Amino acid sequence: MNYQWYPGHMTKARRMMQEDIKLIDLVIELVDARVPASSRNPDIDELGKNKARLILLNKSDLADEQQNQLWAEYFRKKGYSAVALNARNAAGMKQIQAAVQEACREKIERDRKRGIMNRPVRAMVAGIPNVGKSTFINTYAGKACTKTGNRPGVTKGKQWIRLNRNVELLDTPGILWPKFEDQSVGQKLAVIGSIKDEILQAEELALWILDFMRETYPGRLAQRYQVPEEGTAVQLLEQIAHVRGCKLKGDLPDYPKAAALIVEDFRSGRLGRITLERPPAEE
C-alpha cells in the first residue's frame, strides 16, 4: 500500500507557520516516542533552523523505556534539548520549564544584556497529527485551552496561550509533508494513528506489527493472545482471530476484525511498551 495523507488544510497550516516563525524564540517539537525519527516532519526542521529547539518524546509510557533514554541522548548529541514525557498524566512535565529555559538560555542572556528583563519566551508547539500537542498544552497550562482528540486533524487554526509570566505558547495544527520518500515511514505513522484510518488497510498494518513483534519483542504476542509465535504472519493472524472469536459464518476467520484488534492493542499499549525504531548508529 502507498501511504500518503496530505489534506488541503496542511498546506495552509505550513504557510501560516512560515509567517509566524519570525515571532518565535523556541520551537517545541512533539514526536511520538514509539517512532521518534519517523514522526519528525522535515519541514519543521527547515522552518525552525535558526531557532532554539526542544524535542519532547511524548507518549513515552507506550514506548520502550530504555529506548526513550537512548533517543533523548541521541537528540541531545545533535544539539537539541530533549525530554521524554507522557502529557496525559503529567509525567515528565516538571522538567519542561527548566528545559525551555535551558533551550533559550542564549536568548534570555541577550535580553538581559540589552536591559530587557522578564520578557516571556514565545514558543511554537509543532508536530505531526496525533502526537499529543493539544494534550501537552492543556496539561502544561493546567487547564483546557485547546481541543483534544485521539485522532489526527483536531487542531485546525492557531492560538496563543499565555502559560505564565515566563512562557507564551503558539499552538499549531498537525502537519505532515507532501510525500514520504520512504514508505516505511508512512507505514509506521499509520500504525501509531497519525494517518486517518479510513484510508488504511488494517490487515496490512496488523501483519507488519506481528512480524515486527516476533522479531524485536519475542514472546509478547504469545503472552497476550495465547498462541504460538510460529508460521507466517497470515497464519498467526488467523490463530489470533480464532482465539479472540473473530469469526464469520461457517467458522471462517474474520481477518479485518482481528487485524483491527491487533492495531488497537498496539496503540493502547496492551502489547506492552514498544518502540518501532532505534537511534541511528553514531557516524
pLDDT of residue 3: 46
Q: Which domain holds residue 110?
A: 8-171
Do residues 278 and 212 touch, judged by C-beta distance below 8 A?
A: no
Residues 210, 78, single domain; the answer is: no
> Cell numbers at residue 182, please?
520512504
Q: Which amino acid is at 211?
A: D
One domain for residues 160 and 209: no
Q: Is residue 87 part of a domain?
A: yes
Give pLDDT tens digits for 206-255: 999 999 999 999 999 999 999 999 999 999 999 999 999 999 988 899 99
Asked if residue 216 and residue 165 are part of one domain, the reply reads: no
Mean pLDDT of the region 121-144: 83
Query: Using CA atoms, how far apart are residues 261 and 252, in angstroms rounded to an integer?
Result: 17
Write the single-letter amino acid at 21: I
pTM of the predicted model over 0.75: yes
- Please indicate, yes or no, whether residues 78 and 205 belong to a single structural domain of this protein: no
Residue 148 sits in the same domain as residue 231: no
Quickly state the pLDDT bin for 283 (edges 50, 70, 90). very low
Based on the structure, what is the number of domains in the chain?
2
The pLDDT assigned to 152 comes to: 41
> 239 and 114 in one domain?
no
Please check whether residue 99 is in contact with residue 53, taking contact to mean a CB–CB distance below 8 angstroms: no
Cβ atoms within 10 Å, residue 197 = 14
The whole-angstrom separation of Cα 75 and Cα 277 is 14
Looking at residue 186, the DSSP 8-state letter turns out to be H
In a domain, 273, yes or no: no
CATH number for the domain spanning 133: value is 3.40.50.300
Percent with pLDDT over 90 in the chain = 43
Q: 257: domain CATH number?
A: 1.10.1580.10
Number of other CB atoms surrounding residue 152 within 10 Å? 21
Radius of gyration of the chain (CA): 20
